[in-house]
């Protein structure tokens, strides 16, 4: 039998779609793999052989990385999608998503969707100080209201690449297409942020199921049931993943949390004390950076909230 190498593009119960060249094979698992639940994930590079009844996955090749939620392997970046309205952004939830990506060592790209719903809303009618700080590197930010610009500016100061887009009008989509042209990109974000709608806009013809926002809860309904890799015409793969609205924090010690916060990580080497938690210690370079406007104050406050959560979890563990 000839062994072929392919990529798992969709993992379902007991069956797997594997792309081998230009062909997609529906595969079962060879005995040993079948007995080990969860051993084959979307994104896995695998060896398959054809059988009389179809095809079989013989072996899973070593992974570069692996995510638990969503269950996927060999990811190159995480595209975190957050709507600017309907539903409104919840920064601390967004920060939880970012922490998950940072904990896995994955590059993050931030995409703020539904910009058409907020552009021109600002009372000031002009970009103002915050807008002037970011408009050079983020096209379209000058049209946003001041509160939204502060949100965008905070993540720009953290060092994340940012795209302002509208899946409905097409604003910003071409630049985002270029970002996704290489490797495997995982989409993450709360339900209702417009992830599936965004993919449909980036590549018409995908016809992914989309959902309306629940009027009662103000959150989106989950529309994606399985993790699957979708090939983009310009190159690259994207993973359409089930939406979620809350993530637990990574399992880290209090002194390690700052390593997952890019702007804290950047300024922490200047702190007077090793192991500084950046809360009230003297000579803290992180707090100094907040005072100087190099770190957004609200991002720092979110760091403190999540630091407290990590500490409480640690206390409960040793009770």
Cα–Cα dist 86/228, whole Å: 26
Q: β-pairing, 108-113 with 77-83?
A: parallel
Looking at the chain, which residues constitute the CATH 1.10.40.50 domain(s)? 254-317
Looking at the chain, which residues constitute the CATH 2.40.50.140 domain(s)? 3-61
Q: Span 51-73, mean pLDDT? A: 88
CATH topology of domain 3-61: OB fold (Dihydrolipoamide Acetyltransferase, E2P) (2.40.50)
In the predicted structure, residue 136 carries a pLDDT above the cut 60: no
What is the chain's mean pLDDT, rounded?
85
Kindly report which listed range (3-7, 98-102, 289-293, 301-305) carries the lowest average pLDDT score: 98-102
Q: Span 41-70, mean pLDDT? A: 90
What integer pLDDT is reported at residue 220 of this predicted model?
42
Q: Largest Cα–Cα distance in the chain?
A: 71
In the predicted structure, residue 28 carries a pLDDT above the cut 50: yes
In the predicted structure, residue 216 carries a pLDDT above the cut 50: no
pLDDT digits (tens, 9 = 90+) for 110-122: 999 999 999 876 4
Residue 317: band (very low, low, confident or very high) from pLDDT cuts 50, 70, 90: confident
Q: Span 68-78, mean pLDDT? A: 87
Q: β-pairing, 237-240 with 184-188?
A: parallel
* Residue pair 265/258 in contact by the 8 Å Cβ criterion: yes
What integer pLDDT is reported at residue 187 of this predicted model?
86
Residue 128: band (very low, low, confident or very high) from pLDDT cuts 50, 70, 90: very low
CATH topology of domain 254-317: Ribonucleotide Reductase Protein R1; domain 1 (1.10.40)
Cα–Cα dist 34/73, whole Å: 18
In the predicted structure, residue 127 carries a pLDDT above the cut 60: no
What integer pLDDT is reported at residue 80 of this predicted model?
93
Looking at the chain, which residues constitute the CATH 3.40.50.300 domain(s)? 67-240
What integer pLDDT is reported at residue 75 of this predicted model?
94
pLDDT digits (tens, 9 = 90+) for 4-15: 999 999 988 789
The number of C-alpha atoms within 13 Å of 22 and in the hemisphere containing its C-beta is 0
* Residue pair 72/41 in contact by the 8 Å Cβ criterion: yes
Burial label, 125 (beta-carbon count in 10 A; 0-12, 13-18, 19+)? exposed
What integer pLDDT is reported at residue 78 of this predicted model?
92
Residue range 67-240, CATH number:
3.40.50.300
Cα–Cα dist 127/105, whole Å: 34
């Amino acid at each position: 039998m000839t062994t072929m190498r392919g990529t798992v593009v969709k993992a379902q119960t007991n069956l797997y779609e594997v792309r081998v060249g230009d062909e997609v094979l529906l595969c079962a698992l060879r005995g040993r793999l079948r007995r080990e639940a969860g051993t084959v994930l979307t994104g896995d590079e695998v060896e398959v052989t054809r059988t009389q009844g179809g095809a079989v996955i013989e072996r899973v090749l070593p992974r570069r990385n692996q995510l638990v939620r969503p269950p996927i392997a060999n990811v190159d970046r995480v595209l975190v999608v957050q709507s600017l309205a309907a539903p409104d952004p919840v920064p601390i939830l967004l920060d939880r998503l970012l922490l998950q990506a940072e904990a896995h060592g994955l590059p993050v790209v931030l995409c703020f969707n539904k910009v058409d719903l907020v552009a021109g809303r600002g009372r000031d009618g002009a970009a103002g100080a915050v807008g002037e700080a970011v408009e050079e590197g983020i096209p379209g930010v000058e049209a946003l209201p001041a509160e939204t610009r502060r949100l965008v500016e905070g993540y720009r100061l953290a060092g994340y690449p940012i795209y302002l887009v509208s899946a409905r009008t097409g604003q910003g989509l071409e630049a985002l297409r270029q970002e996704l042209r290489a490797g495997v990109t995982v989409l993450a974000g709360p339900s209702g942020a417009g992830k599936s709608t965004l993919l449909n806009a980036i590549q018409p013809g995908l016809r992914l199921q989309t959902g309306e926002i629940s009027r009662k809860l103000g959150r989106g309904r989950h529309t994606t049931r399985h993790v699957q890799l979708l090939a983009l015409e310009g190159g690259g793969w994207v993973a359409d993943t089930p939406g979620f609205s809350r993530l637990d924090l990574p399992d880290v010690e209090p002194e390690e949390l700052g390593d997952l916060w890019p702007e804290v990580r950047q300024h922490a080497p200047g702190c007077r004390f090793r192991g500084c938690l950046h809360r009230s210690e003297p000579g803290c370079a992180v707090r100094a950076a907040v005072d100087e406007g190099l770190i957004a104050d609200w991002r720092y406050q979110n760091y403190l909230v999540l630091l407290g959560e990590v500490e409480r979890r640690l206390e409960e563990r040793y009770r």
